Amino acid sequence: MSGVFSDPGALSRHRDVLVATEDTRHKVVAVCGGTGCRAQGAMKVFDALCTEIDAHGADRTVGMRATGCHGFCERGPLVKVLPEGILYEHVQVADVVEIVEKTLLGGEVLERLLCEDPVTGQRYRREEDIPFYSHQRRIVLRDTGQLDPTSIDDYIAAGGYSALVRALEMGPTAVLEEVKRSGLRGRGGAGFPAGRKWEACRSAAGELRYVVCNADEGDPGAFMDRSILEGNPHSVLEGMTIGAFAMGAREGYVYVRQEYPLAVEHLDLAIEQSRALGLLGDAILGSDLSFDVRVSRGGGAFVCGEASAMMASLEGRRGVPHRRLIHLSEHGLWGRPTNVNNVESWANVPLILLNGAEWFRAIGTEGSPGTKIFSLVGMVNNTGLVEVPMGMTLRQIIFDVGEGIPDGKAFKAVQTGGPSGGCLSADKLDVPVDFDTLVAEGSMMGSGGMIVMDEETCMVDVAKYFLRFLASESCGNCTSCRDGLSILHDLLGDITEGRGTRETIALVEELADTVEATSLCALGTSAVNPVLSTLRYFREEYLAHVDDKRCPAGVCKALISFSILAERCNGCTLCAVRCPQDAVVGEKKQPHTITQELCIKCGICKDVCNRDAVLVQ
């Protein structure tokens, strides 16, 4: 480290030195250190690799990095060998010696560790050949799988903080114009044009103003912001610093969930490193820009992602939304002009400054430029974190990037926009994914959750699941949201348990209408989306539950029964042995039957049957 950078030149000289050092290394091994891969033992693999490389005396020629999330969490732990881009999946400590001796020192590719195509079984040599990656456009996530997020030098060597230098040269007005021209829209859900928000904050009256990074990502199954903060915290800090420069703010906050310990750790470290190099603090890079960032940890309330609740929480009050007739950009944190953008929006800012607004506009669609990161989860072959240009269709994301539904099952629905998004049916697969189209179809972009469901999913049950989450995350202020959502949950429970009638459905619709029309914040007004969208696209399924007391997907236990098809059963006794209730009876090599009074509908018999003889109806 070279002390504080007194001017942009000092930063670029430092970068030159770093790049020259990197050049002496022939190979770099990037082990995914994202939360998913860590949970699967990636750090043990990393330690073993370091030890093995040292043992071979190769530490001068092989660089080691524990990076951020590579996105392909399904296949973790992931190990990437650069510059070739060889990607190994499911790497275990036992594989380490072979990787070092054959691939790193011998230049040989280990066929058995290469990523396997779930459909064709083909193994791909390089990362960019894998369909999961080849259909993506990774710009924000480009470096998360390459850099060591705990090293500011890695970020600087990769060109980090040169967007800030460019911003300082351009001046605040030109920076603002560039962001406005880029058409960047807020990635947190609402999709409000960032440039317009910045302009309002910049021109609001007052000496003090704040920039805030919303990292209160609370959607079940979503980990976009988490991965950026864990894998590339400096990109967010650089974006915030550029924003602060354009808006004239001296202080910034990152509001991050307490449940993201690794993100907090990496962010804290990044802030410390930036301060040490004078990239945060007074007179940044010798300019008259002074800016510093503090981390504020939230207690895990979903509602604190709502901006007015977040302001309350940042100020030390209970995180409850309140009416905002005056925009936060004029009257925000402690009554000062405040700009809030989410993690992904901030991480886009350096890219826009560096490559220009035209480059950014060329990606994505006219109304929604750029890319969007989704956490693609559920019943899809390739689960993980994906970044695609806006305007890509749901079909392309699910069937090209995600490579379809496992076990040859049929696609049924996809839920976009997190818990309060909507469920779209198969006939909406060719809908382009951008802010406006999704809303028009009764769903929303949200912050980027994407949950794929197959034919064995009951949509009433899905709506009930999301309502339970939202009812428990409602702050409890508004009668309509607090009590309305829990009643809606109970009413859907009536339907899934066979007590529902057509009147129940009518009451659900009537109550949902009031919750949507009379709740204060977006949590309440959008919370009914899962119910209304499933009623819109899967009404027959609701009707089957109430009219025929039948769950077509075979999920709702009160409405299904298990039986054994005599013509298929060969009496192997596997189900009888595994049944926890001893409900399956029958002689060996004779068709078995299920005693309905004993059956608890756990589904084990269906799972273990090799002959597909268990019928659910």
Partner 1 sequence: MDVELIIDDVPVTAAAGASLLDVARCAGRDVPALCHHEAVPAIASCRLCLIEVRRPGRDWVQLTTSCDYPVSAGLVVVTNSPRIRKHRGMNLELLLRRAPDAPVLRQLATQFGVTRARFAPVTDAPLPDCILCELCVRVCCALDYNALAATGRGHDKRVGPPFGRTAAKDCVGCGSCVEACPTACIPMADTATTRTIWGRTFELLTCVRCGRPITTKAHAAAMAAGADLPVKSTDLCEVCKARLTSERLASPRR
Residues at the interface with partner 1 (CB under 8 A): 301, 303, 318, 320, 322-323, 325, 471-480, 482-487, 490, 507, 510-511, 513-514, 517-520
From the CB of 325, what's the least distance to partner 1, in Å?
6
| CB of 296 vs partner 1, minimal distance in Å | 19
> What is the Cα–Cα distance from 573 to 205, expressed in whole angstroms?
78
Residue 37 one-letter amino acid: C
Contact between 184 and 352 (Cβ < 8 Å)? yes
- For residue 369, whether the previous peptide bond is cis, meaning omega lies within 30 degrees of 0, is no
Nearer to partner 1, 203 or 472 (CB): 472
Angle at 382 between CA 147 and CA 413, to 5 degrees: 130
- When the beta carbons of 311 and 459 are compared against partner 1, the nearer one is 311
Among residues 374, 390, 36, 380, the alpha carbon closest in space to that of 183 is found at: 390
In the complex with partner 1, which residue's Cβ is closer, 175 or 301? 301
Q: φ, ψ for residue 562 (rounded to 5)?
A: -100, 135
Q: 452, exposed or middle or buried, with CB in 10 Å at 0-12, 13-18, 19+? A: buried
Q: Smallest distance, Å, CB 494 to partner 1?
A: 11
Q: Which is nearer to partner 1, 252 or 298 (CB)?
A: 298
295 within 8 A of 267, measured Cβ to Cβ: yes
Closest CA to 413 of 383, 456, 370, 448: 456
Of 196 and 322, which CB lies nearer to partner 1 in the complex structure?
322
Minimum distance, C-beta of residue 302 to partner 1, in the bound complex (Å) = 9
| Cβ nearer to partner 1, comparing 1 with 440 | 440
CB closer to partner 1 out of 62 and 521: 521
By beta-carbon proximity to partner 1, the closer residue of 86 and 320 is 320
Q: Residue 12 Cβ, how far from partner 1 at the closest point, in Å?
A: 50
Closest approach, Cβ 499 to partner 1, in A, equals: 12
210 vs 469, which CB is nearer to partner 1? 469
Adjacent-strand bridge partners of 18? none
Q: Which is nearer to partner 1, 381 or 480 (CB)?
A: 480
Query: What is the nearest approach in angstroms of partner 1 to the Cβ of residue 510?
Result: 7
Three-state SS for 32? strand
Nearest C-alpha neighbor of 146 from the set 14, 29, 271, 20? 29
Report which of 546, 462, 539 is spatially closest to residue 497, judged by C-alpha positions: 546
Classified as helix, coil or strand, 206 is coil
Give the Cα separation of 150 and 535 in Å (integer).
Answer: 47
E strand map for 216-321: 251-257, 292-298
In angstroms, give the least distance from the CB of 471 to partner 1: 5
Alpha carbon of 261 to those of 268, 302, 318: distances in Å?
10, 17, 22
Distance in Å, CB of 98 to partner 1, minimum? 51
Q: Report CA-CA distances (Å) from 86 to 27, 79, 95, 324, 548.
A: 11, 8, 15, 51, 54
Nearer Cβ to partner 1 (314/488): 488
Q: Are 69 and 23 in contact (CB under 8 A)?
A: no
Least Cβ distance, residue 258 to partner 1 (angstroms): 16
In the bound complex, what is the minimum distance in angstroms from residue 481's beta carbon to partner 1? 8
Helix (H) or strand (E) holding 116: strand 115-116
180 vs 482, which CB is nearer to partner 1?
482
Give me the least distance between CB of 432 and partner 1, in Å please. 27
Query: Quick one: CA torsion of 384, 387, 390, 395, rounded to 10 degrees?
Result: -40
Comparing C-alpha atoms, which of 466, 465, 415 is closest to residue 445? 415
Following DSSP, what letter does each residue of 332-398 receive, concatenated?
-GGGS-EEEEEHHHHHHHHHHHHH-HHHHHHSB-SSSBSEEEEEEEES-SS-EEEEEETT-BHHIII
